Structure 1
Amino acid sequence: MGIFSRFTDIINSNINNLLDKAEDPAKMVRLIIQEMEDTLVEVRSSSAKILAEKKALTRQVTRLEKDAEQWQGKAVLALSKDREDLARAALMAKKKSSESAQALLAELSHLDEHICKLQDEISQLQDKLTDAKTRQKAIVIREKSANSRLKVKENIHSTRVHDALNRFDDYERKIDDIEAEVESYDLGGKSLADEIAELETDEKVDDELAQLKAKMKNNKKQ
């Protein structure tokens, strides 16, 4: 059994309620659309048959009304020939044709009402189908968005991501250790700039020492 058991169920249905109760709204809306489309095909096929029946009845009414007119003419002809008996029979035949035409006209009137209501219901069904297809697009987009967000959330909380980040931390610590080892070789050693600066300092001390010796030597001579 489908979602809808009768055509009127679809017309009177509340799609929002159906979707609210559904565990899988995307699947539910696909089923709703499928059933609506199937029902629309069936109803239109039925409508085509009813319209064909209306045309056939209309043709019968036209034929019966024409027969009534012909019997009327025959009654006039019979009276003109003093054949009242034939005129009476012709009028009886006219009455029968007219009554049959009236009965068919009454049936046609009911058929027109039925067709009018059916067309209105088909229009409502088409509107609901259009609405369902519009909602389907929105639901599909929301579902894709939700799935994408879920994947992002899963990756954020994934142990693989944490493990990868931890490996990055390990690599950084190893690089820190290597850099520290390199820097340890420089501890206690002199750089080229330091050695040159020491040479400049030694040269100044030597000059000052030479000047001091010369000064003392001059003092002794005096």
Structure 2
Amino acid sequence: MVKQSIFGRIATLAKANINAMLDKAEDPQKMLDQMVRDYTNNISEAEAAVAQTIGNLRMIQDDYNEDIDAAKSWGQKALAASQKADEFRTQGDTASADKFDNLAKVAIERQMDAERQAKAAEPTIASQSEIVEKLKTGLEQMKGKRQELVSKRDELVARAKSAHAQSAVHDAVKSIDIMDPSSEVNRFEEKVRREEARVRGQNELAASSLDAQFESLEDLGEKTEVEARLAALKGGRSGNQAITSGQASDEMELDYSEGASTETPTAR
């Protein structure tokens, strides 16, 4: 009963449709990990059970071989006893001949008993041999399925890592896209532009201030001359000289205006 149960489990696991099971799984990687563990544990149990079944078969076969050897040995003893009995009978020793004939009969009986035991073991050996072969086949199929599961799991993990890496690269490329308004590069560029604009404003402000300073200097020169002339007027003499100089200049301009063809005016 135990052997049949183990054989049924091996057959069920070996025939498992892995792809169909994965399609129904919410997390295929976790399911594959669990299936690999289950297969590994079941394979370990199956190996122990198959080993035990093989061991029992070998014991039956050993007993069978011993019965065959015993039957052969008792057959040889029966033949030897019968030949000895014939020798004694030829010699006229009937008592010794009967004795060895009886020994031959005992040997034949034991030979027949060993043959019966060997014959009875043959169906059991055949049945157990068939079971062992099926168990071995099922065990190999389980190992093949386990390897398939391991390959599927490794492939899935590799694909998941590749997808994660591609996603990370995509996010990284997106983060450095200068056309992306949220990128650090764009924000830094905007900051530089604001700084350049501020510097231009400072330059314009500085230029405006310099023009104002030059205009202040011109106003200051004019005021200085006015003050000087005012001081001259208040000085009296210097003021008269300034006025006389002014009248002479006016008369000269008048003479030139009346006619430049006359002779040079006589000094007064």
Task: Name the TM-score, length of structure 1 as normaliser.
Answer: 0.68
Residues 39 and 146 of structure 2 are in contact (CA less than 8 Å); yes or no, is this contact kept in structure 1?
yes
* One-letter code aligned to 2:10: F
| Selected match of 1:168 from 176, 188, 194 | 188
After TM superposition, what 4+ stretches of structure 1 lie above 6 angstroms from structure 2? 186-190
Q: CA deviation at 1:25?
A: 0.9
- What is the CA deviation profile of residues 67-125 of structure 1, one whole-angstrom value per residue up to 9, with x for unaligned ones? 11222233334442325555444323222211111222322222221222222222212
Partner residue, 1:36: 39
Gaps in structure 1 of 5+ consecutive residues = 191-222
Tell me how far apart the structure 2 counterparts of residues 173 and 103 of structure 1 sit (CA, whole Å).
104
- In structure 2, C-alpha distance between the alignment counterparts of 1:179 and 1:95, rounded to whole Å: 122
**Match for residue 54 of structure 2 among 21, 28, 51:** 51
Partner of 2:235: none
Q: 2:131 aligns with which of 114, 134, 138?
A: 114
Q: Secondary structure at the match of 2:26?
A: coil
TM superposition shift of 1:50: 2.2
Distance in 2 (alpha carbons) for counterparts of 1:172 and 1:56: 92
Kept in 1: contact 2:10–2:135 (CA 8 A):
no
TM-score (norm 2): 0.58
C-alpha distance in structure 2 between counterparts of 1:108 and 1:180, whole Å = 105
2:30 aligned residue (17, 24, 27): 27
The structure that has the greater radius of gyration is: 2
Q: Residues 91-106 of structure 1 correspond to what in structure 2 (within 5 A)? A: 91-106=108-123
1:199 maps to: none
Alignment of 1:11-26 (within 5 A): 11-26=14-29
1:184 aligns to what? 204
Could you say what secondary structure the match of 1:162 adopts?
A: coil
SS in structure 2 opposite 1:6? Answer: helix
Q: 1:61: how far off? A: 1.4
Q: Which region of structure 1 is more displaced relative to structure 2, 16-25 or 176-185?
A: 176-185
User: 8 Å contact 2:29–2:157 — kept in the other structure?
Assistant: yes
